[in-house]
Amino acid sequence: MDSSKELIKATNLLLEISSLLMVSGANTVRVNLSIARFAAGLNFKTSCFISHKSIIMTLYEEDSVQSCTRVKNIPPHAINFSIISAISKASWDAVTENWTLDQISTEIEKIKTTKRYSKLTVLIAVSLAGAGFCNIFQGDYLNMLVAFISTFIGLIIFQLTHKVKYNVYIRIFLGSFIASLIAGLGIIYNIGEHPQAALATSILYLVPGVALINSFTDFLDNNIINGMVRFTSGVMTVLAIALGLFVTMIIFQLH
């Protein structure tokens, strides 16, 4: 293959990988390290500017005047730690086993087609987690049942509004409002020994743990722009959750 065409192809592939990592919830330093390993395996050097919405990448050889710069927009994020782990492993294999560009491309295509858990599995697992948190906060079995049902229905609303492409913060507000509204009925009708525990834990599935943790690690690694964006996104999410809970408390006049 002509060297310039290979350089362009490699740049496009590495952009695709970096975008996939960002979408899946990787922090900035992990993206840079993984891309640097893939580039090193192909005997290239890379320089990246990664923001929350786009990536600018330049790929070059140290002993050549040729370089390639490309820009790629990042699609909406969909957290998937399995993809992050698989790409990280592939980047090490690419270096140790001297993978070609085609081998890397084939492996990334396999990773992209990795099946996610079904929506029903996610619904049940997240709802059980909500019930478990309720138990930690001294909720009895009736409170756990209320927490399970409210989380289940709230997450369904969250998924359906995603399907019809609602704004993410409206989706979070609706998910929080519906879940807390159902859990609030447990307080009104005094279901269980600690109905407040069900209300408090019914909205925990919306807490933006990944965004806040990544913002902290980005700050530590001096990726200030991404850290600020992720922190702001996390704060906006928390405010949307709080607003949904606040509306429920007004409706039921809870204190």
Q: Which positions ≥6 away from 165 have C-beta within 8 Å?
A: none
Closest CA to 200 of 129, 137, 126: 137
Regarding whether 214 and 106 lie in a shared domain, the answer is no
Q: Which two tokens stand for residue 170?
A: 């409206």
Determine the pLDDT at residue 39.
93
- Check residue 10 and give its pLDDT: 93
Q: What distance in Å separates the CA atoms of residue 203 and residue 181, rounded to the nearest whole number?
A: 10
List of E strands, the chain = 45-50, 54-60, 67-73
- Please state the rounded mean pLDDT for residues 130-154: 96
124 & 238 share domain: yes
The answer on 230 and 145 residing in a single domain is yes
Kindly provide the b/e burial profile for residues 92-102, where b requires at least 16 CB atoms within 10 angstroms of the residue's own CB. Answer: ebbbeeebebe
Question: Cα separation of 179 and 154, whole Å?
Answer: 4
Let me know whether 123 and 248 are in one domain: yes
Using one digit for the tens of pLDDT, what is the confidence trace for 160-198? Answer: 999 898 999 999 999 999 999 999 999 999 999 999 999
User: 112, 130, 163: which is the final residue of a domain?
Assistant: 112
Mean pLDDT of the chain: 92
What are 88-134's pLDDT values in tens digits?
999 999 999 999 999 999 999 999 988 888 889 999 999 999 999 99
Q: Are 7 and 73 in the same domain?
A: yes
Q: Do 129 and 53 sit in the same domain of this protein?
A: no
- Nearest residue to 42 (alpha-carbon basis) of 71, 1, 73: 1
**Quick one: 59 and 126 in the same domain?**
no
Chosen domain end from 112, 143, 165: 112
As a whole number of Å, the end-to-end CA separation of the chain is 70
Number of domains forming the structure of the chain: 2
**Rounded distance, CA 213 to CA 17, Å?**
22
Domain that holds residue 91: 3-112
Among residues 112, 145, 167, the one where a domain terminates is: 112
Q: Is the pLDDT of residue 12 over 60?
A: yes
129 & 235 share domain: yes
- Is the pLDDT confidence value at 4 over 90? no
150 and 76 housed in the same domain: no
